[in-house]
Amino acid sequence: MKLIPTIQSKKIVAFFLTITLFFVGAFYKLAILSPVSAGTFTSRSVTITDSRASATSVTYAYGFTTTVTTSIKQIDFKFCTQAGAWGDTCTAPTGLSTSSATRDSDNIAGTGRTDSAPAANSFRTVITTPSTQSTQAVTFSIGGMVNPSTTNTTFYARIITYSDTGTTEIDSGEAAFATLTSTSVAVSATVLENFSFSLAGVNSGGTVNSATTDITTTAATIPFGTLSSGDPNIGAHDVTVTTNAGSGYIVSAKAAADPPLSAGSNNIDYFSGTYASPAAWSSPNGSSQNVNTGFFGYTTEDTAHSGFQSNKWARADTTARAIVTNSGAASAETTRIGWQAEINVLQPAGSYTGTIILVATPTY
């Protein structure tokens, strides 16, 4: 429930910041079936840039390792509601569409590319002049995808390569992804592993990086309430991850828009500290309305990001930045992250809103 306090004067401003996050139901167990007659890709994964059901212009970034050096003439992708091998029954996810999809990039050996979408749930690239393919990590990115419309559901992306145009199989495999509700965000997962990610609110009177919280957050909101000049408000969240991914995971954060908070034509800007050089909090000192007359920033207690220690803060811009990092498996590992907002006397009155997107990505 959005709680937007009533504005009390021209020198105070109320706003409500929502957080959308990717939440994978605890411990998806994804069974992959491999064809007997050909190889199976290793280190298979797919990362999508937005997990919201029916989201458009989504990028699906694939990663896998080939098993042989055979030249790849054709690579096909097929999206299904059920796990299985390439030739098994495949039901197209409702709402998913490749009709506007484009190949953004790939590192398959060879020159010349012809892309097509043979069906609403498939995508194909034919390499004009293929070359010997090293048994290396292959990347393939498809942009312009439309997500399935079914919420809170796991789907499967089947992948197959051919040495010719669709007859002689080289390798195949499968990776999984999930859509959540219309307020959810990007999700990534690697098959055959367990992964869960959650966010919990923190009460007023807690601490984050030595700073004291003075608002109570929920799992999906940062209700800063009414801001007064010279009086910063601080909130926090606890990020909890469980995974058996051998190479660990990262949790990244970004603002959905620039500027991060707005009320009509008015805005609250990013804090001056940067991700590369977090800084001690300083009050906004802008002398023109909407130009550094309000600041919003974040911090993290993750010791892997030591620049944030000792109460340092950074700007929450539209570039995804890792705020929690772990290099190995984790069991209910919890890390606290914080949010701070402050205005000066020139900030225009209004009810300011914005969205922070959190994305968790395990690597197996």
Tens of pLDDT, residue by residue over 278-311, are: 999 999 999 999 999 999 999 999 999 999 999 9
Q: Which pLDDT value is given to residue 193?
A: 57
* Same domain (yes/no): 294, 323: yes
Question: What average pLDDT does the chain have?
Answer: 86
The answer as to whether 148 is a domain residue is yes
Inside any domain, residue 274: yes
Q: Looking up tokens 């090293």, which residue turns up?
A: 134
The pLDDT confidence band at residue 192, using thresholds 50, 70 and 90, is: low
Q: What is the residue type of 48?
A: I
39 touches 64 (CB < 8 A): no
154 and 224 inside one domain? no
Query: If you count them, how many residues does the chain have?
Result: 364
Domain check: are 309 and 161 in the same one?
Answer: no
Residue 38: predicted pLDDT: 57
217 and 315 together in one domain: yes
Contact 70, 121 (CB under 8 A): no
Looking at the fold, whether 223 and 124 belong to one and the same domain comes out as no
pLDDT digits (tens, 9 = 90+) for 331-362: 999 999 999 999 999 999 999 999 999 988 88
Question: Do 233 and 297 sit in the same domain of this protein?
Answer: yes
Tokens of 86: 């390439």
**Strands 39-40, 169-179: parallel, antiparallel or unpaired by DSSP?**
parallel
Q: Is residue 122 assigned to a domain?
A: yes
pLDDT tens-digit map of 128-175: 999 998 877 899 999 999 999 998 788 999 999 999 999 999 999 988
Predicted confidence band at 2 (pLDDT cuts at 50, 70, 90)? very low
Q: How many helices (H) and strands (E) does the chain have?
A: 0, 26
Number of domains the chain contains: 2
pLDDT category, 67, cuts 50, 70, 90?
confident
Indicate the DSSP class of residue 257: S
Tell me the per-residue pLDDT of 320-329, one tens digit each, with 9 for 90 and over: 999 999 999 9
Do 303 and 349 lie in a common domain?
yes
Handedness of CA 256, 258, 263, 264 (dihedral sign): negative
Identify the domain boundary among 162, 193, 224: 193
Domain range spanning residue 119?
39-193
* Angstrom distances, CA of residue 348 to CA of 87, 241, 257, 270: 60, 39, 19, 16
DSSP result, 74-96: EEEEEEESS---TTS--PPPTT-
The tally of CA atoms less than 13 A away on the side-chain side of residue 345 is 0
Q: Which of 176, 193, 210 is the last residue of a domain?
A: 193
Do 152 and 49 sit in the same domain of this protein? yes
User: Same structural domain for residues 214 and 358?
Assistant: yes
Kindly report the pTM of this predicted structure. 0.53
In 3D, which of 48, 117, 37, 106 has the Cα closest to residue 72?
Answer: 106
Do 291 and 250 lie in a common domain?
Answer: yes
